[in-house]
Amino acid sequence: MRNADLIQIANTFGDPVYVYDSEKIISQFHRLTNAFSGVRKLQLNYAAKALSNIAILKLMNSLGSGLDTVSIQEVQLGLLAGFSPESIIFTPNGVSLEEIEEAAQLGVRINIDNLSILEQFGTKHPDIPVCVRINPHVMAGGNSKISVGHIDSKFGISIHQIPHLLRIVELTKMNVNGIHMHTGSDILDIDVFLYASEILFETAQNFKDLDFIDFGSGFKVPYKEGDIETNVEELGKKLSDHFNAFCETYGKELTLAFEPGKFLVSEAGQFLARVNVVKQTTSTVFASIDTGFNHLIRPMLYGATHQINNISNPEGRERYYSIVGYICETDTFASNKRINEISEGDILCFNNAGAYCFTMASNYNSRFRPPEVLWHEGKAILIRERETFDDLIKHQVDVKDLFVSKTASKKEKAAVK
């Protein structure tokens, strides 16, 4: 998308606004499938939690993707978007047995990540196939906030608990048809990921009726110019060779599965916000914009870096600015960052705003969540309306007869009595 297109979108739909480029999503999907063309059976299950707008889910479905879900609501969204139940895998964490049973009743595939629920589910439903999520105790990349394969992680069944897991399977006679791991986001060291995969292959040998092995995802994308990223082509070649060799040893052609989210949609997203005020202090120049961590929390929550460009003045001389929001908290998006000269009313563009951005938005400070726009075949299509005050109070219950204002007149108080 050109800057002129983005400015037109902001002027048409208002700001702040999220914009997603369908062409980029499609190219990322094909890049990943091509990287693993060396395996006979490949299944990509898009991680709905990254960006769950129904229009995006329908796009993924049209590409032949499956769907990775972590809540019963995401399962329902997937079904509404047209995914078949068997193309959806339910991989929750810390949910109740009842929620897993509800998902199973909808016909989706089940992935269980703790021994307690595994035993309960296997005892009640031994005929329903399940996948088991293993924690390999390997950190394949990223900081501790986005790595989930380490020994202190709440996710998965520890590899040291495999004997207990096998005893549950034996006693309940349940059907384990898949093995899964997810080491976390921002994989940088391919050899470390391959080491974790060997642990998964070793674990898989304990189960004789597998249909698939799911390696999670976490492929790193570049967040700024010159940033490093996961070399998915190299990973695809090496892991495919390992996987094919395992299938020969296992004696069965299995499906290699991934659950990419960030890799598919992060770079496709742009977040546009307008500058409310430029404020000079004794030491800093602040550019305060019409948004905050209520709309984009990743920089504050994870320390994530999003490239910020002034698309209203792309040729202006660079100056140092701290980009801050309008929330009554410390919501700093960037500190002392070189950006083309900013004036009040300019539109700033945050790159890599497709994954875990809108989906983590809130109504903090009673602010409305922004609209979402899909840029598809050269056209801007509204796929979510901006919230209104009616949306904000829609589910609040009016208790006007419960309290009487201290400033009410005696006549009003008497009327209430």
Given 241, 262, 283, which residue is the final one in a domain? 262
99 is in an annotated binding site: no
Q: Is 374 in contact with 57 (CB distance < 8 Å)?
A: no
Domain ends where: 193, 227, 262? 262
Number of domains in the chain: 2
CATH number for the domain spanning 124: value is 3.20.20.10
Which residue among 262, 281, 303 closes a domain?
A: 262
Positions of the chain with pLDDT under 70: 139-152, 184-186, 407-417
236 is in an annotated binding site: no
What pLDDT sits at residue 50?
97
Whether 303 and 206 map to the same domain: the answer is no
Residue 212 and residue 275 in one domain: no
Domain match, 183 and 226 both: yes
- Same domain, residue pair 42 and 179: yes
Question: Is there a binding annotation on residue 364?
Answer: no
- Tell me the whole-structure pTM to 2 decimals: 0.92
For the question of residue 328 being annotated catalytic, the response is yes
Same domain membership, residue 275 and residue 192:
no
329 is known to lie in a ligand binding site: yes
Catalytic residue of the set 131, 328, 349, 357: 328
Domain limits for position 155: 22-262
pLDDT in tens, 49-66: 999 999 999 999 999 999
User: Does 46 appear as a known binding residue?
Assistant: no
Q: Is residue 176 located within the same domain as residue 98?
A: yes
218, 289: one domain: no
